[in-house]
Amino acid sequence: MVTASAEYEHYLKGGPWGGAVFVDSGSAFDDRPDWHTGVGFGLRWRSPVGPVRVDIAHGLNDPDSQFQLYIDIGANL
């Protein structure tokens, strides 16, 4: 298995609200890689109890794929 990710985050004037754009790619393979890639954007909030992320992403390998919504609460370990 191989994965790669690139993300850019920017917070407004150093405050608790921000945004992000990202690209993720990966493959789980036995013989040869079959890469799948997705792109997306999201909102960021540095809440009093930890970071909150709301992202919308779209896979690039299947043109008919739908957008996906992801919600993440807490620190990424």
Number of structural domains the chain divides into: 1
Alpha-carbon gap, residue 34 to 43, rounded angstroms:
30
For the stretch 22-75, pLDDT in tens is 999 999 888 888 899 999 999 999 999 899 999 999 999 988 889 999 999 988
Strands of 12-75 (E only): list them.
17-27, 36-47, 50-59, 68-73
Q: Say yes or no to pLDDT of 76 above 80.
A: no
Find the domain containing 41 and state its range: 2-27+35-73
DSSP character for 60? S
Q: Which two tokens stand for residue 29?
A: 């393979």
Q: How many CB atoms are closer than 10 A to CB 25?
A: 16
- For the entire predicted model, the pTM comes to 0.82
Q: What's the Cα-to-Cα distance from 24 to each of 3, 13, 47, rounded to whole Å? A: 8, 27, 25
Write out the two tokens for 52: 């909150």
